[in-house]
């Protein structure tokens, strides 16, 4: 009899007095109902978040990273310097063969981000949690800022979270099934394919394939290890990422050179990195959810003795063993780098017999929801900017990146049209950094070549190399007040300057300069 069946039989015999391993009442299962209350709460929360996201989709533009992924759609290739190709393929599909508009992209992300907590509920159930526990876990998961806010963006993380959660749920179902049965066969196949899709979304997704392999080879999964389905599922996942690996190998592993070399010139273990990692988790998870994550890690360790427990422990410990040291070493690490290690902890806590108190769970959800409400209010209600202190510096407010680009891009198109006369061989639009260049490329959609002058090599150096845009007859240089003057252009002379100011709540938050340089006459 599986561990889940044993738990279900205990709950059926005495649903009002479910007890944990120490003989104490389980605060998450003390009432005799099947989870309908949590189900309706999750449905109401999902509907509310979906409504907010759909409204946001009509108001905000691309963030800088989103714009880069939209630009991937204009330049299809097997892999990019920052990520595998799947996010670019999704963007290209949304854009009908080119970069999508911000609104179209965000309509998709609004729906998918609202469905991820439901996938987590199913994963928790597949791992052996009761429906009530599964919905309660998904409810807290849905209001974690990293999920409720972060997954609204069109990024590889949205795809990674979706595929990782689905793979964990299917693998758990397979491990609970009879070895070699049709249920196990199809569930292992699905888990492997989703793990491969996770790796095609983001490099850290490969750690899920490794976690599945460790689980299948463990003592607790020995009965399944003697059958073909788990290994066939892994092979299917590897097939998904094989073209990416072949491209990287033939090209000299540019993704890894860029991520672990070019961008890590200031890398090294430091207290600054440790503080950034710890502080980032408190902000991205919210403080009390971080406490729940610690409890979930303990629950994953205690539950390691059965096959599903091994899966959840491997799915968290193995990624953490790679991603946490990387975040401690890298000065450019971001808090969400370690997020994959946290996804498997949600089912681990949901299925644990040592549940956190209802008071802690409720307080965690409430505090996380307050974080989410504050961020959405700050971004979507411009008048809140009037509450900013005198020391407020608009350059460091990422919300400002989401506004004003249509006006700037319209001005850029006007300048390009004025320079694109029959006597000129070409016009290039150029920015000082990829965060500017990506917005330009995503909007121009290949109509005009976009170059970039990022201090280190980036994807734009492949798409329109510096040596080539420097030879253009006209260069439309676009920058804002975060960056310095244009580089030396000895072949060109300044022709005109145009300035665009972006306001929020009657306050100037960004100043753009559009400079046109024309090639000097020979002699």
Question: DSSP of 447-506, one letter per residue?
Answer: SSEEEE--SS--THHHHS-HHHHTT-SEEEEEEETTS-PPPP-TTEEEEEEEEEEEEETT
Q: Is residue 306 part of a domain?
A: yes
Asked whether residue 360 falls in the same domain as residue 457, the answer is no
What is the structure's pLDDT at 24? 41
Asked whether residue 248 falls in the same domain as residue 104, the answer is yes
Task: Report residues of the chain scoring pLDDT below 70.
Answer: 1-33, 421-425, 522-523
Asked whether residue 415 falls in the same domain as residue 363, the answer is no
Q: Is residue 27 part of a domain?
A: no
User: How far is residue 442's CA from residue 323's CA, in Å, rounded to a whole number?
Assistant: 30
Asked whether residue 49 falls in the same domain as residue 141, the answer is yes
Asked whether residue 277 falls in the same domain as residue 139, the answer is yes
Q: Is residue 264 part of a domain?
A: yes
What is the structure's pLDDT at 492? 92
Asked whether residue 366 falls in the same domain as residue 478, the answer is no
Asked whether residue 421 falls in the same domain as residue 284, the answer is no
Residues 6+ apart with CB under 8 A from 36: none
Q: Is residue 371 part of a domain?
A: yes
Q: Is residue 7 part of a domain?
A: no
Last residue of a domain, one of 345, 378, 411: 378
Asked whether residue 280 falls in the same domain as residue 373, the answer is yes
Asked whether residue 151 falls in the same domain as residue 299, the answer is yes
Asked whether residue 325 falls in the same domain as residue 440, the answer is no
pTM, two decimals, is: 0.90
What is the structure's pLDDT at 171? 97
Q: Is 9 exposed, middle or buried (0-12, 13-18, 19+ CB in 10 A)?
A: exposed
Residue-number span of the structural domain to which 249 is assigned: 33-378
Query: What residues form DSSP beta bridges with 494?
Result: 517
Asked whether residue 214 falls in the same domain as residue 321, the answer is yes
Q: Is residue 387 part of a domain?
A: no
Number of domains in the chain: 2
Q: Is residue 4 part of a domain?
A: no
Q: Is residue 14 part of a domain?
A: no
User: How far is residue 18's CA from residue 32's CA, in Å, rounded to a whole number?
Assistant: 9
Asked whether residue 151 falls in the same domain as residue 208, the answer is yes
């Amino acid at each position: 009899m599986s561990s889940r069946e044993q738990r279900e039989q205990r709950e059926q015999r005495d649903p009002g007095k479910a007890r944990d391993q120490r003989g104490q009442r389980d605060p998450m299962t003390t009432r005799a109902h099947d989870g309908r209350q949590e189900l309706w709460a999750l449905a109401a929360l999902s509907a509310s978040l979906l409504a907010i996201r759909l409204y946001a989709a009509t108001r905000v533009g691309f963030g800088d990273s989103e714009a880069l992924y939209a630009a991937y759609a204009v330049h299809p290739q097997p892999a990019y310097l920052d990520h595998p190709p799947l996010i670019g393929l999704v963007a290209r599909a949304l854009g009908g063969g080119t970069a999508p508009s911000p609104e179209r992209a965000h309509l998709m992300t609004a729906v998918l981000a609202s469905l991820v907590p439901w996938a987590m509920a199913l994963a928790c159930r597949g791992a052996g949690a009761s429906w009530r526990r599964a919905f309660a876990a998904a409810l807290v998961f849905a209001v974690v800022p990293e999920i409720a806010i972060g997954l609204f963006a069109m990024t590889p993380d949205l795809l990674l979270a979706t595929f990782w959660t689905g793979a964990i749920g299917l693998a758990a179902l397979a491990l609970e099934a009879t070895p070699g049965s049709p249920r196990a066969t199809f569930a292992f196949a699905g888990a492997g394919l989703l793990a491969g899709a996770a790796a095609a979304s983001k490099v850290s997704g490969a750690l899920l394939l490794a976690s599945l392999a460790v689980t299948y080879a463990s003592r607790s999964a020995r009965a399944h290890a003697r059958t073909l389905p788990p290994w066939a599922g892994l092979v299917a996942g590897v097939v998904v990422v094989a073209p990416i690996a072949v491209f990287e190998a033939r090209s000299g592993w540019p993704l890894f050179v860029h991520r672990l070399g070019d961008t890590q010139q200031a890398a090294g273990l430091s207290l600054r990195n440790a503080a950034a990692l710890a502080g980032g988790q408190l902000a991205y998870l919210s403080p009390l959810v971080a406490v729940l994550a610690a409890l979930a890690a303990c629950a994953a360790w205690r539950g390691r003795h059965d096959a599903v427990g091994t899966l959840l422990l491997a799915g968290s410990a193995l990624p953490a063993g790679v991603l946490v040291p990387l975040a401690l070493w890298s000065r450019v690490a971001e808090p969400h780098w370690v997020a994959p290690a946290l996804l498997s902890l949600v089912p681990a806590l949901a299925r644990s017999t040592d549940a956190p108190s209802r008071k802690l769970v409720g307080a965690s959800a409430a505090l996380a929801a307050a974080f989410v409400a504050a961020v959405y209010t700050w971004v979507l209600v411009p008048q809140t900017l009037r509450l900013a202190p005198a020391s407020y510096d608009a350059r460091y407010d990422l919300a400002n990146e989401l506004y004003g680009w249509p006006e700037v891009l319209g001005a850029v198109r006007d300048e390009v049209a004025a320079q694109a006369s029959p006597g000129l061989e070409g016009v290039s639009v150029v920015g000082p950094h990829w965060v500017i260049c990506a917005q330009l490329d995503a909007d121009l959609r290949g109509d005009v070549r976009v170059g970039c002058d990022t201090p280190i090599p980036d994807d734009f150096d492949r798409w329109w190399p510096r040596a080539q845009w420097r030879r253009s007859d006209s260069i439309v240089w676009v920058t804002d007040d975060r960056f310095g003057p244009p580089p030396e252009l000895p072949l060109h002379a300044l022709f005109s300057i145009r300035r665009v100011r972006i306001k929020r709540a009657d306050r100037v938050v960004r100043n753009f300069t559009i400079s046109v340089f024309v090639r000097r006459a020979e002699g």
